[in-house]
Structure 1
Amino acid sequence: MAGGLFWASVVLAVIISVFALDIMGLFSRKNHLEVDGKTVLLTGGSTGMGRGVAKILAKKGANIVIVARNQQRLAEAVKYISASAKDTSKQRFHTISADVTKPEENDRIMAEATKWNHGQPPDIVWQVAGGAHPALFKDTPIEVLRSQMDMNYWGAAYLAHTTLNAWTKPSAGSQDASTGPRQFIMTSSVAALLGAAGYAPYCPAKAAMRSLADTLRSEVNIYNGSRRSKDPSVRAEAPGRDISIHLVMPGTITSPGFENENLTKHAVTKLLEKDDSPQTEDEVAAAAVKGLESGGFIVTTQFIASLLRAGMLGGSARNNWLLDTLMSWVVAVAWLFIGPDMDAKVFNYGKKYGAKNVEEGAK
């Protein structure tokens, strides 16, 4: 028994040490999200994480296009974001008011951004737009279940569709490797990695985004491979630049959206979340950008989320094979205790209150 505890402690110490070294950048010296002088399109860029990401990328020299529905918020956000520009004499900023839940609107977004960007599609497209309507499944109107899928999954899928169509147009043999790959980034949620009572309208849509990212990551290899074909006719039909796919999975973010979520959130959901450590928009944006700069495919913004990701990777690409393998061992053991504890909290709540939304149950 003592020997087992000793070796478990040794393994845990090694994992923590490796994770710390990874955070400090030991395993990734190259910047995989170079944005200086490039154009970045962000949906959901007027508030919350999207605004935080746009501000960081502006500091790094990017030209920014933000998309949201409310024109007044867009105007306020672009003023806030452009104030952080690295070089105001060179960088440009633009806003587009659109509803990303409609496929034709995503086509318009890409067309307008391309025209504004001197006839070239954006170098990086980052889908941040989304939102949660937490509630018990049976109490959620069918139209809300549909709108959650529209806002989260379909909003990302439509944007991915129009973006990849713009990026995969034949280059007539002209291959541009100097500017790096074009990058499509989706924003899912740590909620995609576990099912929690009260998040049934939201979790499935975010989980679907993870599957889409896995699929697209495999699919773009067709186009990346065609750029390296020995057959001139194949290369002539290939895009001019490589394409990479990424998925960001943040946890709870303190934002106006989070305040709205709490209006419909069931007490049992709050009970499950009471030990969470919410991040501000700037904190989550900084963690997401840092993870992408290190070359991550699925990027999380908190340590506990990183453990969950490692434990549920399945066929998804590893960010760091050693670190992810070690963390998956830890979470496999830890979940033997965490899973039953979460189930017990929900069971005991029901035993005491039934399905009633009783705030005292979260105390």
Structure 2
Amino acid sequence: MGFFIRKRKNHFPVDGRTVVITGGSQGMGRGLAKLLAKKGSNVVIVARDVKKLQAAIEYISAAAANPQTQRFHYISADLTNPSESVRVIEEVTAWNNGQPPDIVWANAGTARPGLFVEIPIETLRAQMDANYWTATYLAHATLNCWLKPASAFPATEGPAPTLPRHFVITSSSLAFCGIAGYSAYSPAKAALRSLSDSLRSELNLYAGARRAKYGSAATAPPADIKIHSVYPGTILSPGHAAEEQSKHPVTKVLEEGDPAQTEDQVAAVAVRELEKGGYLISTQFLGSAMRASALQGSPRNNWFVDTVFSWATSIAWLFIGPDMEGKVYKWGKENGMTNAQ
């Protein structure tokens, strides 16, 4: 039977590598950090609240596969300030014996649901800051570090590392479908998808330069850089519990029956799909349907499955779209403009 079984290549090896995860003190970020600790990573988590970070790092380090060799660290930072992302990458590099992190996961974000006209302008801007700009600032700081030549960093013992570096962005399945009540949140998450596509395209320039027939290899980045984005749906977490407090009743109607995942479940699916080499990753079936129907120019993880799925969902949306709009119309007709819970 061994002849017929081909071991799948792991496109996202993490054992012995250093990983930075923002929003790592709770929810999906904490779940990711624990899972990667189990897989042998050195983990740095970033968030604002020091007490939550301390509790999370204790929880995460307890899951280490190799407690004698793995290392764990936390950094308190406000990533809505662009200089903080630069500081985080510099601090991690110093902590990592002068070498940049191998994987950076821009996972920080928060939702403040509500009807568009009822949301203060300050909240609209804050949602873009918390969800889009935190990831963008981190990407800018990380890529500026990673694209430096190897000579910019201390020499390491043995051969230079050749494994690709990975920058991962957590978006949301709402990037594929805007619904009533998420008009402050969905646009920021949709912008992250566009950022992912743009960075993925742009980084081919540097990958090509590393293999140029002419020129000095000393000026090229030491490793390829891979971009990925992850699109979870509902995650059962403290953040989700807070969202429920401000969520309009019609939003709850639209989300009724949507599947939910724990932080460990969403982390497991995201990492498994990264190991398969996925680029644009959904973490449950409903999100996969939404992703397939909105791929446009984004690369396919599996050209056959995604193409067939997109055909099926394009037909399904003929019924789903009007049904969702009808639910919002019906709620308004029966309840008026009240925001009563």
- TM-score normalised to structure 1 length: 0.89
| Structure 1: segments with no counterpart, 5+ residues | 1-25
Equivalence for 2:106:
127
From 258, 267, 273, the counterpart of 1:291: 273
2-side partners of 1:218 and 1:256: how far apart? Answer: 35
Structure 1 residue identity aligned to 2:199? L
Offset of residue 27 of structure 1: 9.8
Is the 2:181–2:251 contact (alpha carbons within 8 Å) kept by the matching residues of 1?
yes
Structure 2 residue identity aligned to 1:128? N
Is the 2:103–2:166 contact (alpha carbons within 8 Å) kept by the matching residues of 1?
yes
Mapping of residues 94-133 of structure 1, within 5 Å: 94-133=73-112
Structure 2 residue identity aligned to 1:58? A
Equivalence for 2:317:
335
Equivalence for 1:253:
235
Offset of residue 351 of structure 1: 1.1
Report the 3-state secondary structure (helix = DSSP H, G, I; strand = E; otherwise coil) of the residue aligned with 2:150: coil
Equivalence for 1:310:
292
Equivalence for 1:356:
338
Structure 2 residue identity aligned to 1:189? S
1-side partners of 2:303 and 2:8: how far apart? Answer: 16
Equivalence for 1:236:
218
Q: Structure 1 residue 181 and structure 2 residue 160: aligned?
A: no
1-side partners of 2:201 and 2:321: how far apart? Answer: 31
1-side partners of 2:199 and 2:41: how far apart? Answer: 25
What whole-Å deviation, never above 9, does each CA across 1:147-187 have from its counterpart, x for those lacking one? 0000000000000000000000023599x775410000000
Offset of residue 28 of structure 1: 8.4
Q: Structure 1 residue 277 and structure 2 residue 248: aligned?
A: no
1-side partners of 2:219 and 2:205: how far apart? Answer: 12
| Structure 2: segments with no counterpart, 5+ residues | none
Equivalence for 1:53:
32
Is the 1:177–1:241 contact (alpha carbons within 8 Å) kept by the matching residues of 2?
no
1-side partners of 2:192 and 2:160: how far apart? Answer: 29
From 132, 142, 148, the counterpart of 1:169: 148
2-side partners of 1:204 and 1:237: how far apart? Answer: 38
Query: Are the structure 2 counterparts of residues 143 and 82 from structure 1 closer, same or farther at C-alpha, using a change threshold of 3 Å?
Result: same
Equivalence for 1:92:
71
Q: Structure 1 residue 152 and structure 2 residue 131: aligned?
A: yes
List 4+ stretches of structure 1 deviating above 4 A.
none
2-side partners of 1:68 and 1:178: how far apart? Answer: 29
Is the 2:176–2:291 contact (alpha carbons within 8 Å) kept by the matching residues of 1?
yes
2-side partners of 1:352 and 1:177: how far apart? Answer: 66
Query: Are the structure 2 counterparts of residues 28 and 274 from structure 1 closer, same or farther at C-alpha, using a change threshold of 3 Å?
Result: farther
Query: Are the structure 2 counterparts of residues 56 and 297 from structure 1 closer, same or farther at C-alpha, using a change threshold of 3 Å?
Result: same
Is the 2:162–2:222 contact (alpha carbons within 8 Å) kept by the matching residues of 1?
no
Structure 1 residue identity aligned to 2:210? R
Structure 1 residue identity aligned to 2:188? A
Is the 1:307–1:328 contact (alpha carbons within 8 Å) kept by the matching residues of 2?
yes
Report the 3-state secondary structure (helix = DSSP H, G, I; strand = E; otherwise coil) of the residue aligned with 1:253: strand
Q: CA RMSD in A?
A: 1.6
- TM-score normalised to structure 2 length: 0.95
Equivalence for 2:189:
206
Q: How many residue pairs are counted as aligned between the two chains? A: 332
Report the 3-state secondary structure (helix = DSSP H, G, I; strand = E; otherwise coil) of the residue aligned with 1:37: coil
